[in-house]
Structure 1
């Protein structure tokens, strides 16, 4: 389909859609992002710095890309990537090694933008394997709501009930409302540290990166694969489904450079949005496709503003029972788990390899300081190669 024509008229409905997308995107998943950063060794100040950096950078990227292309190019942080950090945990070298891995991830995205054969190689990773790895990564978090009911039912049950009811009433708002209920529970049952307004403003923390083989293999490569497979590819597909001819090279370059800029401040990957992309690109944003870019632009502006609430969000999470935050993170990832399992099992011939990938990725296995996500890719890829080799021998 040809490029959508440009309209100069301001769209208030698109601004409204962008506002909804920003609140959903930030409110649904910031607990996962903060927990992911702390899991790989970030202090509260470093996690707040990382949350701020990602929010501001993804906002600026959305503003730039939507303005230049006049298309609703929505940008987000990698929520599945944050789940990967949680499942991997601390790596040798501490948070500075994780920051080095974030830098490598950004560099790989830039390479994917500039080198087409590399981009094609990444695209050639079977979706069954990529989805199975993602499902294995987030499985443990998705079990947390059930575990929380057994340990802290007085906190977990109200959140889960509200989330379940909102899924039936207004699915889009289920997670933001669940996060609001969680925040209310924390503020009414926990003694929060007293802080002045100045102390709650985020302060960027510069972290010197270090580079270790274990962090690169355990974090950088799986984070790159997860970001490409579960965020960039679906994000591109959403835009194309609504008739937009995506500028993949430019978008990868901007988000890759943005990831590299944010890494020394504690940020992980930024990328195409998927769910919020549908909010901005769909007809509810504006009947005229030429004016829907305003929705992504407006969401970007709000993301920049949300970055300045990063310290308060981090303080709130730090003061809460860890299992409660894990439960909220698990609820946020339920949809991703369902989609990943469906994608992993779709191809009958790939199912054995997908199951192996899923089991190994979910196992917590670690060899030579390298986490389970990478070994899941290796095991599943080997199983798939063996399966296809046997099929070729049978055909002969």
Structure 2
């Protein structure tokens, strides 16, 4: 069975989902791979694929506002830079683990898919890893530095954030657009990198609104208003390129049997952008407005919707039209070891991260400026 048959299998599974629920969809998907739904070689790659998506969502959303704070460092007044990074302390222990966990699970579970992805996206991956390492290094040394040296580490943290955002933006552009690019494609690449940077800034400014007052709060709202539409523009650009360059994806989103999924997704995203823009403008006009967590929640939900749409467009492929989740998976024995590691380590890491993030959710709005 070739790649086009597998692509269509996801659509045919939709009929079963509408008629008898998710069970028939799983059976249809397993039949398209020639495996039984109870076969470990079917459900182990699928479970690890879901885990990879979860880690990617953590990287984009939770590490995203961390990157956004770094991007904003040169534009924040010197007296406030350290205060913003001090507020990040509760997040750093958990945020710095997303990149490492994502790559570790992906490489061990899908080694056949990792090789072509690394060969085609070496620069974006290295930028992402380098940026994450620099941010962690700068944050740790800053905590031990004297007051006179902290500004240097603040700027190194900012440089690491710029590297991370550039890597994430280039990765997304190349993943959507493919490795073969002519000069006209670079307009799309630049737009996606700008949109990814704008998305990180929107997450960062929305997070700052949860605890700041005064100048920082007003600054955050104004910057959020200036960047939120760039995020929407990037989302539209990615959607158009996906639809216009791949007939299977266009069919999946526009076919009468699946059109309701696209309609609901677009309505939710449009509503989210409109509400987020209005809330940020409200705070920019009146910094004392009683808006704290809702912009961050909306921004996070928009990111999850965008990632969900990308995963829905590509599934069951890791490398579009070339490698499916099952084609790229490791051997049965290797997958069992990976699953065993996930079962043992995941609860520990989950508790660690929840405790770290719980410190922030208990954080009370205070005046930092």
Q: TM-score, normalised by structure 1?
A: 0.29
| Larger Cα-atom Rg | 2
Q: TM-score, normalised by structure 2?
A: 0.30
